Amino acid sequence: MATQRTPKVNLVNLSKSDYRGAPTTLCQGCGHNSINSQIITACYELNILPEDIVKFSGIGCSSKSPTYFLERSFGFNSLHGRMPSLATGALFADTSLTGIAMSGDGDTISIGMGQFKHVMRRNVPMVYIVANNGVYGLTKGQFSATAEEGLALKGQGQNPYMPIDIVWEAVVGRATFVARSFAGDPKQVRELLKAALSHRGIAVLDIISPCVTFNNQDDAHHSYAWGRDHEVALHDLSYVPLAEEIMVDYDAGESKEVDMHDGSRIMLRKLESDYDPTDRSAILCMLEEANRQQELITGLIYIDTEQKSLFDLYNLPDEPLNRLPADRIRPRRETIDKVNAMMF
Ligand SMILES: Cc1ncc(C[n+]2csc(CCOP(=O)(O)OP(=O)(O)O)c2C)c(N)n1
Ligand code: SF4
Ligand SMILES: [Mg+2]
């Protein structure tokens, strides 16, 4: 008689399939599919209950992605470019949840740029992924604001404009965790996702995610071939959860440690040179130079674990606001009268 194999479970007694979503309807080979798989693996390996996660997205192929991971989590699809304000409100209402947002370069950097800037300056605790392919994939491949100058696409002509660098915008915009990765480098994507999920503040991940249907020619800056040839990893990054004994297998002086709020650590092993992800002005110079040299810099680019998050700025009760009874959430009649009296 054939024996049935029991699926492997994690510390919260769930198998990896408990973290999956509906079957994807994205094109085969789309970078977004690869990011989705790493979200599933990261959450499984971190033993997070899917019910403790809330997913957010806007509009685009990338924004369809939350359907394809964590089907046991709640999810919100916003209007195009408006996901950050929806996420801010939802997370404020229940600060016990972990937010994972999936957006696109069109959704965030074209129509959504204003909202993106404000969610970063407010340091809303959430993982904010931009699956960046240089085009509007869903509406058939128009140039997005991250497309490189001179990119020529069938039916679109040649892009005359300079691109916007998402990482640059995030560092200047005061996001407290900024990283870049490449969908063709799944290990790095996974480790960065795990670190981002432990960050208390906004974690922006610019992930180059090729659109195989509209923008994957070898010389295009968001293609698999270009990414593979031009990726320059700043460090070899490993995420070490609190529960695991830290096995430092690096020589002294060869690695940098970043301590996270929850006691976990990010280990950054030196590759070419020492890299300090806390020195904002040096980072901006490095990004400028990398763009000039056409290098795809990846890794943990900037981190600040000291800045207060949006929720730390308010005197919030321990219980989530959306679970407080009406008599605790509504101001009393006398309070309203007092406020009104102050107005006149
Ligand atoms: C207000 C509004 N304007 C325009 C559109 C059309 N539209 C839908 S998705 C999209 C762009 C999506 O691009 P991106 O965020 O890069 O996602 P991708 O499909 O490339 O993953 C556009 C312009 C829309 N849905 N709503
Ligand atoms: S059109 Fe492009 S972005 Fe959309 S699913 Fe296909 S490959 Fe992905
Ligand atoms: Mg896009």
- What is the reported pLDDT for 270? 76
- The CA distances from residue 220 to 41, 181, 210, 336, in Å, are 29, 17, 10, 59
Give the residue ranges of the chain where pLDDT is below 70.
Answer: 1-3, 244-253
For residue 34, which ligand has an atom nearest its CA? Answer: 2
Residue with CA nearest ligand 1 atom 6: 139
Q: Is 137 in the pocket of ligand 1 (CB under 6 A)?
A: yes
Question: Ligand 1 pocket, 133 CB below 6 A?
Answer: yes
Is 340 inside any structural domain?
no
Q: Is residue 330 part of a domain?
A: no
Task: Please give the residue range of the domain that contains residue 290.
Answer: 16-309
324 within a domain of the structure (yes/no): no
Question: How does DSSP classify residue 106?
Answer: I
Alpha carbon 239 to chain centroid distance? 16
The total of other beta-carbon atoms located within 10 Å of residue 26's CB is 21
Task: Check pocket membership of 104 for ligand 1, CB cut-off 6 A.
Answer: yes
Ligand 2 atom closest to 61 (CA): 4
- Residue for token digits 């529960």? 243
Given a contact cutoff of 8 angstroms between Cβ atoms, the answer to whether 165 and 136 are in contact is: no
Count: domains in the chain: 1
Q: Which among 81, 166, 75 has a CA at the least distance from the CA of 115?
A: 81
The structure tokens listed for 204 are: 């922006």
- Name, in order, each residue with C-beta under 8 angstroms of 57's C-beta and a sequence gap of 6 or more: 63, 64, 65, 66, 75, 76, 77, 78, 83, 101, 102, 103, 107
Ligand nearest to the CA of 215: 2
291-310 as b/e: b if 16+ CB within 10 A: beeeebbbbbbbbbeeeebb
**Phi and psi at residue 50, in whole multiples of 5°?**
-55, -30
Residue 123 lies in a domain: yes
Alpha carbon separation from 207 to 145, 186, 341 (Å, rounded): 15, 11, 52
Residue 96, domain member (yes or no): yes
Q: What is the pLDDT of residue 267?
A: 87
Question: One-letter amino acid identity for 129?
Answer: I
| Cut 0.85: pTM above it | yes
Q: Determine the Cα–Cα distance for residues 124 and 33; give it in Å rounded to an integer.
A: 26
Mutate to test the pocket of ligand 1, among 35, 138, 144, 223 (most ligand atoms within 8 A of CB): 138
> Does residue 2 form part of some domain?
no
Does 211 contact ligand 2 (Cβ within 6 A)?
yes
- CATH of residue 262: 3.40.50.970
Report the nearest-CA residue for atom 6 of ligand 2. Answer: 27
Which residues sit opposite 231 in a β-bridge? Answer: 296
Rg (CA), the chain: 21
Task: Assess if residue 1 is contained within a domain.
Answer: no
Residue 247 located in a structural domain: yes
